[in-house]
């Protein structure tokens, strides 16, 4: 059975990671100063996301040791279909489904916001994701995550609702973050 806990927040890079400080500064500049998005929780989440996905293993993680990594949204959707129908009160099944939807939202937000040119290539190379609308899928996945409002998931429901509702704004902000880090590379 797949270990869906690998998709949980426990895989986040440590708060003391040096990239976290850099990404935090870039996200704050883009989202608070340039765009004017006041939600600190969104900025913190995006900072953590960028820090986590600096490691490709986190971007493509499956939670299955020794298995192929999930590199396409279609593969992630197939994993969702593998989760057995469950009793709505089953915490384990809810956690598995929520974790996969969260990862799909994170994955689509990262690629569409940071590397949108890669998505254009997907549409021309007969790739499994060529028909996936990353924006629509990301918004939908974050919305689904926001509906998990029992127990420990309740406190994050509002954050994921915001990510779903402001997905396009987050994409724009992440494009500003990328532009700034590219400028920094030329200064060095």
Specify the higher pLDDT residue, 182 or 10.
182
The pLDDT of residue 89 is 57
pLDDT tens-place string over residues 91-131: 777 788 898 999 999 999 999 999 999 888 777 767 777 77
Contact 30, 151 (CB under 8 A): no
Please give the Cα distance from 162 to 94 (Å, whole number). 21
- Say which residue, 3 or 73, is predicted with more confidence: 73
pTM: 0.83
Q: Residue 157 and residue 46: Cα distance in Å, rounded? A: 16
Contact indicator for 122, 130 with CB cutoff of 8 Å: yes
> Encoding tokens for residue 89?
């009160």
Average pLDDT rounded to a whole number, residues 65-82: 73
């Amino acid at each position: 059975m797949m270990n869906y806990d690998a998709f949980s927040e426990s895989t986040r890079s440590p708060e003391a990671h040096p990239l976290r400080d850099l990404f935090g500064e870039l996200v704050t500049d883009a989202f608070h100063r340039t765009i004017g998005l006041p939600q600190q929780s969104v900025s913190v989440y995006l900072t953590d996301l960028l820090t986590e996905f600096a490691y490709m293993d986190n971007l493509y993680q499956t939670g299955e040791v020794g298995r192929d990594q999930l590199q396409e949204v279609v593969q992630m959707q197939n994993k969702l279909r593998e989760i057995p129908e469950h009793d709505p009160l089953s915490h384990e099944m809810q956690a598995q489904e929520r974790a996969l939807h969260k990862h799909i939202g994170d994955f689509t937000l990262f690629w569409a916001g940071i590397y949108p040119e890669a998505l254009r290539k997907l549409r021309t190379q007969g790739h499994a994701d060529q028909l996936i609308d990353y924006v629509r899928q990301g918004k939908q996945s974050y919305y689904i995550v926001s509906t998990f409002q029992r127990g420990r998931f309740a406190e994050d429901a509002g954050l994921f609702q915001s990510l779903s509702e402001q997905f396009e704004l987050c994409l724009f902000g992440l494009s500003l973050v990328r532009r700034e880090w590219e400028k920094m590379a030329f200064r060095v």
